[in-house]
Every structure is written in C-alpha cells, then in structure tokens.
Homo-oligomer: A and B are copies of this chain.
Amino acid sequence: MIGLDQLDIDTSGAFVEALSLAPYRDGVLNGLTFTVKDNIDVAGSRTSFGNPSWRDLHPAAIHNALCVDQLLNVGARCVGKVVADEFTYSLDGESQFFGTPLNPKAPDRVPGGSSSGSASSVACGLADLSLCTDAGGSTRVPASLCGIWGMRPSLHRISEAGVLPFMPSVSTVGVVATDLDNLNRAMRVLLRSSFHPVAKLQRILVLDDAFKLADEPVREAAEISIGKISERIDIVPERVSFSDILGWDMDLTVCNVAALRSLQTVEFESTVGDWIEHNKPELGYAFSLAYGNVKSFDRSKAFKAIDLCERLFEKIRHFLQPGTVICFPTTPTVAPLKGSLNTMESVLDFYDRIMAVTSFSGVGRLPEISAPLLSIGDCPVGLSIAAAHYQDEFLLGAAHEMFIGA
C-alpha cells in the first residue's frame, strides 16, 4: 500500500490529460473534483476509446457528454481525462498503449478495468469521483480491486449522449467515488432522482452461486461482513441460488457464457467491429486476442442467446421486488499480479469467473453498488448489493443503511 500523500498524477499513471474545468454554478457537489474516462466526451479533447488510432482518426469533441455537463452544473470541477482499457473491452486495466494505472492499495497488482484510470485516480486521492462506464463489469471490477466505491445504475437510467456507443443493450454510465456520500450525491444528480419514491429495506438475499465461484478467503470475508451487517440492522439474510430465482435448474455461469457474452459479442461487432475492419488500426496484443474471438463468433448462435437474455431479465425482474437487495462479492478474487494474465489459462480463469458474477446485473439490467468492505491480506475486494431494475434510489438508501448505519 502506498500512502496517498506520496501520490501525484505522474505516479498514478491514471491520467491521459490533466484539466481544470470550472463548475458552471454552485450545487450539491460544491468543492468536489471528478475525472472522466476516456470514452466519454470532454469538449476540446480527442476521445481515445483506449486506442491511439481511434483518437487520431476522430476530431476533438465539440460538446461535453451530457453526464459531464450534469456534474459541472452542480458545483463539481473536472480535473482530467483518465485511462480506459482498449475499446473498453477488458476487465484487467493493463493497457499496452496507455500504461497500467496504479492500484495504490496493491501496487504490484492490476487496478482492474476497463475503467482503470477512473478507479486509480480516485483510489490515489486525485479526484473525489470519476465518470466511467460499465457493460460487463467495467465500473464494478476496478472499484472492487482498488478498494473504492462504485455504482453501475439500471440500464439506460443515465443519458449516454456523448459517450462512445459500444453495446447498446448492455452499456451504462457508472461512477466510482471515495465514499458513499459522494457516490450518492453524484448518482442522484445523474439519475435525476428528486422525485423517485424509495422502498424500505426489508429483505437481504445472498446469491449462493456467486459465493461458490469466489476464492475461499473472499467467500469467508464476505460471509463475515454480511453476518455483521445483518446483526446490526436486524435482517436475517436469505440464501438463494440462481436456480431459485429462475425456477429451473441453471448455473450462474450460464448467464455469462450462454447469454450476455453472446449479446455483447454481436453488439460489439456491429459497432466497434465495423470501424476496426474499415480502418485497420494498430491493436494491442491482449485486445487482438479478444477481438479474434469476436470475429470468429458464429452470429447465428446469437439468436438463442439474446432470447435467453430477455428470459433471464424477465425472471430476475419478477423475483427481485422493491425492498429487496441481493448480495455477493463483487469479484470472486483479488486483483491479479501485474503481468500475470499471460497464459490462456490465467486469462480464462480471471474472465470466466468474474463475468459469471458481473453478468447477473448485466442480464438483469440491475443497479449494483460495490462497497470496499473486504480485505484479503493487503488486497481489497468489494461487497456488492444489487436491486431490481430501476430501483436505483432504493439501492443507494439500502447501501447507506447496510454499510454506514441508519
């Protein structure tokens, strides 16, 4: 762990561009600073999407993304654009082109991605908040591995105008933050929450499949943490399996392998894939391998998968009622050591297990908050709670009640 007082922009490696954009006016984020992931437009800057050719072949943005304007409009100052994994199609945070932003709590380990610079800039104390995105876990995973707060809202609750189109049925804008209060205030601005009624927290479910996927120390730490919370707020957690939610026998890993990943693959091919084929940009080695899988994907297999996504969504929607949260370790593992994802076996183990867990909120289009509550040795891991689709405001309230105290 590195002391925050030793950290500056250069040592963090999180920034692609330092900025100082003054807020438009005073508001609920007065005095707070934020960074912006490099797939979100900031006027006057070229958005790289994590790939230098994309940056060089596109002009500078003329307008800020609407989400950037929303934060500037309530008192926050934008202090820079930060590193994104290549085409945001990664969860590890090691960029061949832009470097690996520092994970200050575990400096020999990756920060997680694709919002690597967002998580690093906040974990290093260089910003209070960061605007980022999440399709397969890109907000939640680096929040978990860097030990900060992160939230992915319900699908499409936040405007994506000025955010690079990626996977339209899966992508969201997300936020990572130093503490829950900042996360809550920023999210409520972005979600435009003033008038949303909020249910009372009544049930805490524990997603059994996600615990089974977790490393033993992560599972133990999560069990202890949930036990303490439930005792304090006097709600007995109920274990449920993915099969219980669906009403038929199916493992959570199917959510990823047979459903969401196929939808992601065809949508990525239709958006970024066409651009790559036309422009033949230089691609990083890790992304090239991933993109090879996209190109070799049999699109005729997508139809069953996208139908299954809708069926899973509908089942999860009926199971999760307002007043209920479902709880699980955000990632089944701590951050891998830098450079250790260098064999197919290590890559597959990292991605398959993580995405089996993150795809639960993906297919459910659920809001999910990752809280920096677990430590395995010196390495942080997040504890996540998710709620029903569009129950974002309830989830923020439940996080306060569960993690901070009523």
Contacts and interface: CB of A to CB of B under 8 A. Distances in A.
A318 B3 CA distance: 49
A66 B267 contact: yes
A155 B163 CA distance: 18
A392 to B, nearest CB: 11
B195 A66 contact: no
Given A66-B267, A66-B270, A73 B161 contact: no
Given A41-B270, A156-B156, A300-B24, A311 B169 contact: no
A334 interface: no
Contacts of A162: 270-271
Contact of A61 (B161, B194, B263, B274): B274
A161 B266 contact: yes
Chain A, interface residues (CB within 8 Å), range: 35 or more
Contact of A194 (B160, B196, B309, B311): B311
Given A61-B274, A266-B66, A159 B306 contact: yes
A303 interface: yes
A200 interface: no
A69 B311 CA distance: 19
Interface of A: 24, 41, 59, 61-63, 65-66, 69-70, 73, 155-156, 159-163, 165, 167-169, 191-197, 263, 266-267, 269-271, 273-274, 277-278, 299-300, 302-303, 306-307, 309-311, 314-315, 318
Given A59-B278, A69-B299, 14 more contacts: A63-B269, A63-B299, A66-B270, A70-B303, A70-B306, A156-B156, A156-B168, A156-B169, A161-B168, A162-B271, A165-B168, A191-B310, A194-B307, A195-B314
